[in-house]
Amino acid sequence: MNPADPIGSGFVTSLARPGGNATGTTGLTIELIAKRLEVLQEIAAGHTRIGFVSMQKGISPPLDQTNQTKFHAAATTANALGMTIAWRPLSDSNDADVDALFTSIMAKGDQGLYVVFDPLTIRAQRRIADLAISNKIPTVYEIRDYVLSGGLLSYTYLRAYNFERVAGFVDRIFKGANPADLPVEQPTKFELVINRKTAKALDLQIPDKLLARADEVIE
């Protein structure tokens, strides 16, 4: 497994001792929200009204709980950084619904966006990126894929490395290990990806120190 919030989602009782039939890796997705908002603030100082974009509630109850946890974490960080954040739900991944979402975003005066990785936003990633650029809204994403589609930046754990680690769990369990006794592994490798072409389109100057920290810069 590789859930965003293994304890809150009920998969395990603790990371050190899962206590059930599930173990594996976690992406620290909740913990990384603060870092993503900090990087967004660094690249787009003064953009303090943030929209939190995710699939609307009711489509997937398990994801509803995860997204609520994410929003709470984002709100806590936003408050500490002098930002405000409001939920902007996406009802579907087609162009018409994404266009309607951005009409609402513009009407409400959002100056930046935090886009959650979920089944709707991943299908609409290119349209979201295009509209964020055309409306001059700096946007941070949870995974690299969105940045490859034209998004501004992402900060996340190395997902491929986590998936590779899962093979080790499978091997140990096949050899008789009890999942309840195998600690859930947290990521140790992370990546900051910045799309410089998108930054230019948004009239943003990327700070040199941020560029130096970037693991990948898309030109």
Q: Averaged over 96-107, what is the pLDDT?
A: 98
- Per-residue pLDDT of 40-74, as tens digits, reads 999 999 999 999 999 999 998 888 988 999 999 99
Is 6 among the domain residues?
no
What total of structural domains would you count in the chain?
1
Domain limits for position 129: 41-155+189-218
Could you tell me the pLDDT band of residue 157, with boundaries at 50, 70 and 90? confident
User: Does a structural domain hold residue 170?
Assistant: no
* Residue 87 belongs to some domain of the structure: yes
Q: How many CB atoms lie within 10 A of CB 131?
A: 21
192 vs 161, which has greater pLDDT? Answer: 192
Helix (H) or strand (E) holding 216: strand 216-218
The answer to whether the predicted template modeling score (pTM) of the entire model surpasses 0.85 is no
The stretch 93-111 carries a mean pLDDT of 98
Residue 61 has what pLDDT? 87
CATH number at residue 131: 3.40.50.2300
Question: Is 29 inside any structural domain?
Answer: no
**Kind and range of the H or E element at 99?**
helix 95-107
Q: Report pLDDT for 2.
A: 40
Per-residue confidence band for 132, with pLDDT thresholds at 50, 70 and 90: very high
Distances (CA, A) of 54 to 8, 126, 172: 19, 15, 36
Residue 24: exposed, middle, or buried by beta-carbon count in 10 A (0-12, 13-18, 19+)? buried
Q: Is residue 10 part of a domain?
A: no
